[in-house]
Amino acid sequence: MKITMAHGSGGKSSAELMKAVFAKYFKNDILDRMEDAAVLNVSGRIAFSTDSFVVTPVIFRGGNIGKLAVCGTVNDLLMMGAKPLYLTSAYILEEGLESELLETCVSSMASTAKEAGVQIVAGDTKVVEGNGSLMINTTGIGLIPEGRDISAANLKEGDAVIVSGYLGDHHACILSHRMNLENTIESDCAPLNDIVDRLFDEEIRVKAMRDITRGGLGTMLNELAATSHCGIEIEEANIPVREEVKGFCGILGLDPLYMGNEGKMLAVVDGDDAEKALAAMKATNHGKDAVLLGRVTGDKGVVMKTRLGGKRVIDSLYGEGLPRIC
Ligand code: MG
């Protein structure tokens, strides 16, 4: 079946689509009440985040836009030290979209939400003219446990900078699809609950966290250093990039330091906790390839010690990068 404007009319066709696709996968006590708004019991400090997803292609190796739309918002909540609780999901469907493709994304969204421990408690669907694609917005709420203070402003000289795994996988995967390149590069798209939970369970003194999305590691490091008025020094030899992604970047002249990921994060922890934090991360599924990347310094800006012993200033990504990877 193809999606038509009638599916967005609010009438009979809309109700049929709701029943056949959304209600089939999204079920919970709050949503099932079908009220005008979800009523939630939450008390304490709340992290609140929203993101829109417009990736092309919508299905890619390692995931699809439905999975991505959960991971993106859940990871942003996690990076503030929050426990993600609730999500909304708004779908904008283009006329001509195959309902099977929509169902693949909705089903994936439901299973990823389950994995991430969040409930989808409100939603909306609109149909617009277009080329049979779809876009999704998710908004999420998470609860920050008492006494937890995670912020880009917390960095101090001597803190350790840890990255959770290989860089550039998602970006290289999406580009490969678009360029019709045959390879086995898979998106790293994943909710990072396991890593964050583990760090706090082990009582690591976490200062700041960032998911390494658009703009890449280089940009994230600069944001942290600038917000905390300090410097960061990293070792080129420690930057984790898969051989296949390295080859891909080499051909296209891309720098993995500025490539987007959807399942990787940076953690800045108290320098004395560096080894313990690294071991904690490595013990998780999504952090098993974690490495200690460098240290926070008393200087300004981000500097990389190169393999040859030189130093290179790492700037933020300048200009556009590449659109529609998330
Ligand atoms: Mg983020």
Distance 63 CA to ligand 1 centre (A): 19
CB 230, CB 298: distance < 8 Å: yes
d(CA 199, CA 105): 31
Q: What is the pLDDT along the chain (326 residues), one digit of tens a residue?
A: 999 999 988 889 899 999 899 999 999 999 888 889 999 999 999 999 999 999 999 999 999 999 999 999 999 999 999 999 999 999 999 999 999 999 999 999 999 999 999 999 999 999 999 999 999 999 999 999 999 999 999 999 999 999 999 999 999 999 999 999 999 999 999 999 999 999 999 999 999 999 999 999 999 999 999 999 999 999 999 999 999 999 999 999 999 999 999 999 999 999 999 999 999 999 999 999 999 999 999 999 999 999 999 999 999 987 766 667 78
Distance 326 CA to ligand 1 centre (A): 12
Listed in sequence order, the residues at least 6 apart from 247 whose beta carbon sits closer than 8 Å to its beta carbon are none
Three-class SS state of 150: coil
d(CA 253, CA 314): 17
Distance 80 CA to ligand 1 centre (A): 9
pTM of the model: 0.96
Distance 220 CA to ligand 1 centre (A): 9
Distance 192 CA to ligand 1 centre (A): 12
d(CA 85, CA 254): 37
For the four alpha carbons of 30, 36, 40 and 44, in that order, the dihedral sign comes to positive
Distance 318 CA to ligand 1 centre (A): 18
Q: Are strands 291-297 and 160-163 parallel, antiparallel or unpaired?
A: antiparallel
How far is the CA of 319 from the CAs of 81, 172, 214, 258, 315, in angstroms? 30, 19, 12, 11, 12
DSSP string, 59-110: EETTEEHHHHHHHHHHHHHHTTT-EEEEEEEEEEEETT-BHHHHHHHHHHHH
Three-class SS state of 37: coil
Distance 211 CA to ligand 1 centre (A): 5
